[in-house]
Amino acid sequence: MSIPDLAERLAQQPRAILAHSPTPIELMPNLAKALGTEAKLWVKRDDCTGLAMGGNKARQLEFYFGEAQAQNADTVLITGAVQSNFVRSCAAAAAKLGMQCHIQLEERVPKDDPLYRNSGNVLLDKLLGAHLTSYPEGEDEAGADAELERMADDLRGQGRTPYVIHLAADHPPRGSLGYIVAASEILGQLQEVDLKIDRVVIASGSAATHAGTLFGLKALGSDIPVTGVCVRRGADVQAPRVLKTCDAIAGILGCANPVTEADVTVTDGYIGPGYGRPDDGTREAISMAARMEALVLDPVYTGKVMAGMIGLVRDGSIGAGENALFIHTGGTPAVFAYANDLAEVLEA
């Protein structure tokens, strides 16, 4: 698919501009030196997208809020983990666009730490004026979405016009369109400086960012392989989810899916104890990124993805002379909520 053709299809989708873009691509020479590799390690700074401390969700929310505005919604509902970057960014977007925001926080991570419960993204949710409720389950996407719909019905009864951002993969992944835009942005930036990237390393959770990036690159004729680092599910479950999301993107845009099963690469070797639970590899990655490149990573997503990139360097998958691009999807506020989990790093 040509760039003009893809751009035209995207332009037909309602969109509310929220993200600061383009975000820069920077070299990480100190990290490469510390790892003893002659590969060049790069970072796409999507932690710099603005919108209440930035992150990848700003790009995704442009297409959800675009549809919400097209439907004349005055209220948005969303669900996520207690320290969800998505719900915090949603609260920020709602405030910016003059809408009410209702956030449902799921018990996805078994933590009673007061910092986890009250600091980081939760503090920002409240500061941004969101209405918070709790959902007792953490692995029940259908149930969480159903509860959002019930809340939306209550709001309609109060005379409001709600828009629901669903969690489960059986709903249109409009947020993925933001990373098709990002993929086009990346290719343009690489062309400007005549840089060839040999691999992209990215978080694979809901699959929206992973699938959107992969779809965008393939649709624009790029064969750059994308390695998704699983942060929530095993590879056997995550790979089909990525492909299914790509199929759904094609349905939204009314085009063929350029992504095949062979294009989907995921690794679940860096999940550690589970979603939102860092291990020593995550802590090491957070420490190295901060002290060598002044990059602030979080224990839920980017810390695990950086651990994945470090692992790929150490096992030779990213070899000498190669250029690898780490997509920094943000998550900065969560660092404050996980201060106790990072005690060893802080004391080292």
Report how far residue 70's alpha carbon sits from residue 74's, in angstroms, rounded to the nearest whole number: 11
Q: Catalytic residue among 2, 21, 84, 206, which? A: 84
> Exposed/middle/buried for 256, CB within 10 Å: 0-12, 13-18, 19+?
exposed
Report how far residue 8's alpha carbon sits from residue 322's, in angstroms, rounded to the nearest whole number: 33
Q: Which helix (H) or strand (E) holds 65?
A: helix 57-70
Q: Looking at the chain, how many residues does it have?
A: 348
Instruction: Pull the structure tokens for residue 167.
Output: 């969690």
Helices (H), 98-230: 114-118, 120-127, 141-157, 177-192, 208-219
Q: Which of 251, 238, 183 is nearest to 213 (CA)?
A: 183
E-strand ranges in the chain read 25-27, 40-45, 75-81, 100-106, 131-135, 162-165, 199-204, 226-230, 265-267, 323-328
Q: Are 251 and 273 in contact (CB under 8 A)?
A: no
Report how far residue 101's alpha carbon sits from residue 125's, in angstroms, rounded to the nearest whole number: 9
287 is catalytic: no
Tell me which amino acid residue 108 is.
R
Q: Which of 347, 331, 326, 345 is nearest to 288 (CA)?
A: 345
Q: Which residues are catalytic?
A: 84
